[in-house]
Each structure stands twice: as structure tokens, then as C-alpha cells.
């Protein structure tokens, strides 16, 4: 049984033949042509248009609301995915958002989605490589990094660079996984970290907070938002049967369905670990001093 509402998981080995609806005039509905790759189409169907993982317009806007954003400010998002969060924030607050995404497939689709929404400049999604990233000094009023810092092995130089890129009084918001040192040895955590589906550089909340401060920022708030993160996962997957029905309408339905099967495995494993309590999800809100700090 699945963890969302007790439903059985879809099984690719017994995937039914596509069922194309017929109207009253017995005219077959034309199959839909994918706009993006099967992977991107699948992610859009699971998480909602413009999202590649847990999160929605409200989540992103609520997360950055304490930053006091407006149309005169600029924001950088690291790990922008398909750009749904960047577009939601730009529309809600009028702020100029530059989204950086290292996955070229997600970035290309995200850029197209921003252009289609008329936000090609207001919420631009660009490709980048963290190892070669060079941010301009005192450029941004705020920086957002959701599920990005856990992909970075040496976090202090990255956060120092973010600190330099912030204007005085600017904000840095992190939302990411956390593992207490004692929990890291748990068999299920070790298995997950070695699976290839997990970010490999997850710190404890205490270590992350200390790294933020050591990098020249003031860590104002750290919150455990695991329950909310889990709820976003279950809310999205609760309608997986609708996702399967939607996939059946695509020309590339078999490729998209195969992507769905992979996502089922990834998120089933993750939700089990989150429910066991060994893995948590935290948000951190840091600020740059009005003057001084690392420059």
C-alpha cells in the first residue's frame, strides 16, 4: 500500500493500454504533444506547473515574506528548479528575481516557462555551476536557497560569497535537510545517502547555524518545518491516480510514466525516512549586518 491515503502504487509492469476519450460524436481526442522532456512533464504533473519538488506559490511567498520585498529590490534564488517559486515571488511582491539552476534540463524548461508567463526578465532562470560561481558584490537585497546548500560540500566559502553579494541589511534564507550527528549512523540514513537520490552534504541544524555565523552573517531564526514539508509531499502524491490519467493523454505517455515510476521510488524512500525522525527539514533566516562583516 502507498503512504498517501492507503492507495496502491501504479505499477509500470502492468501499465494499462492508453485510453483516449471519445466524445458524443465518436470523435477521438487528439493525444497531447509534450512541450518538455518526459522528466520535466512528469515533474510538472506531480508537483504543479513550474515545480520540480515539494513547494508551491504560497510556500515560497510565505517563506520570503519576512524579507519585506518590493518592486525596488532584487533577489537571487540558488537552486531555482523549474522557476515556479521565482515567478510566484516576482508576481506577489514585484521584486526582480534571478534564478540559478545547475540542472540544464530544468533550467531550460524554467526559462521557457518564465518567458511564456511574461516574466522572462522579471524571473529569469539561468544555468550555472556552483564550483565556478562568482557573485557580484553588494548586488542583491536577498538570497534564497531551497535544497541547494545540502549539495555543496564546502559550505563556508559559498555562504561567504553570498554574504558578499548581499547589500548591507540584506537577507539570506535557507530551506534544506538536516541530520543530527547521532542520527547520521542510522542504517536507513546510510542507505539513503548512498542511494544516489540524496544530497550528500547535509549538516545538523547546529552546524548549519554555526557555519552561517562563521561566514559573516547573523542567524536570526532557525525553524524545524519538517511536518510542513511532509504535508506538501503527501498533498502532491495524494492525486497520483489523476496524474496517471493525465499521462495517458500524451503521445509520449510511456516515457513519462517511466519517469513517474522512478519518482515513486525516490519519494517513498524519503517520506519513510522523514517519518522515522532521523531526517529533518529546516529553514534558516540570516541577515547581513548594516555595516561591517566579511567584504
Mean pLDDT (10-residue bins), the chain, 295 residues? 48 44 53 94 97 97 95 97 98 98 98 98 97 96 97 96 97 97 90 86 96 96 97 94 94 96 94 94 95 50
**Residue 91 in contact with residue 69, Cβ under 8 Å?**
no
- DSSP-assigned letter for residue 31: P
Residue 244 domain boundaries: 18-40+231-273
Mean pLDDT (the chain) is 90
- Percent of the residues in the chain that have a pLDDT greater than 90, as a whole number: 81
- How far apart are the C-alpha atoms of 107 and 113, rounded to whole Å? 10
**Residue 174 in contact with residue 283, Cβ under 8 Å?**
yes
Question: Is 36 contained in some domain?
Answer: yes
Regarding whether 252 and 151 lie in a shared domain, the answer is no
Question: Is 152 contained in some domain?
Answer: yes
pLDDT at position 142, please?
97
- How far apart are the C-alpha atoms of 53 and 49, rounded to whole Å? 11
Question: Is 92 contained in some domain?
Answer: yes
Regarding whether 36 and 83 lie in a shared domain, the answer is no
Regarding whether 23 and 163 lie in a shared domain, the answer is no
**Residue 97 in contact with residue 89, Cβ under 8 Å?**
yes
Number of structural domains, the chain? 2
pLDDT at position 145, please?
98
Length of the chain as a residue count: 295
80: β partners? none
User: For the segment 4-42, what is each residue's pLDDT rounded down to a tens digit?
Assistant: 555 444 454 444 444 444 344 445 678 889 999 999 999
Regarding whether 115 and 257 lie in a shared domain, the answer is no
Axis crossing angle, helix 253-276 with helix 226-237, rounded to the nearest 10: 150
223: β partners? 283
CATH number at residue 83: 3.40.50.150
Amino acid at each position: 500500500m502507498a503512504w498517501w491515503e492507503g492507495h496502491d502504487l501504479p505499477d509500470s509492469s502492468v501499465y494499462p493500454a492508453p485510453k483516449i476519450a471519445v466524445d458524443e460524436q465518436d470523435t477521438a481526442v487528439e493525444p497531447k504533444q509534450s512541450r518538455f522532456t518526459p522528466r520535466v512533464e512528469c515533474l510538472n504533473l506531480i508537483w504543479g506547473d513550474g515545480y520540480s519538488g515539494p513547494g508551491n506559490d504560497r510556500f515560497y511567498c510565505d517563506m520570503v515574506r519576512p524579507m519585506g520585498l518590493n518592486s525596488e529590490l532584487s533577489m537571487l534564488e540558488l537552486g531555482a528548479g523549474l522557476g515556479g517559486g521565482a515567478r510566484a515571488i516576482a508576481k506577489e511582491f514585484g521584486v526582480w528575481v534571478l534564478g540559478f539552476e545547475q540542472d540544464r534540463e530544468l533550467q531550460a524548461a524554467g526559462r521557457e516557462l518564465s518567458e511564456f508567463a511574461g516574466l522572462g526578465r522579471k524571473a529569469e532562470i539561468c544555468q550555472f555551476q556552483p564550483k565556478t560561481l562568482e557573485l557580484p558584490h553588494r548586488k542583491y537585497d536577498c538570497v534564497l536557497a531551497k535544497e541547494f546548500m545540502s549539495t555543496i560540500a564546502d559550505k563556508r566559502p559559498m555562504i561567504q560569497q553570498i554574504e558578499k553579494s548581499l547589500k548591507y541589511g540584506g537577507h539570506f534564507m535557507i530551506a534544506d535537510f538536516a541530520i543530527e550527528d547521532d542520527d547520521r549512523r542510522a542504517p536507513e540514513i546510510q542507505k539513503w545517502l548512498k542511494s544516489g537520490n540524496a544530497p550528500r552534504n547535509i549538516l545538523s541544524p547546529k552546524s548549519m547555524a554555526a557555519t552561517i555565523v562563521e561566514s559573516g552573517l547573523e542567524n536570526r531564526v532557525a525553524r524545524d518545518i519538517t511536518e510542513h514539508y511532509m504535508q506538501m509531499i503527501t498533498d502532491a502524491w495524494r492525486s497520483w491516480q489523476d496524474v496517471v490519467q493525465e499521462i495517458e493523454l500524451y503521445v509520449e505517455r510511456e516515457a513519462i510514466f517511466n519517469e513517474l515510476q522512478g519518482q515513486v521510488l525516490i519519494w517513498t524512500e524519503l517520506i519513510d525516512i522523514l517519518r522515522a525522525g532521523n531526517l529533518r527539514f529546516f529553514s534558516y533566516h540570516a541577515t547581513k549586518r548594516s555595516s561591517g562583516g566579511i567584504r
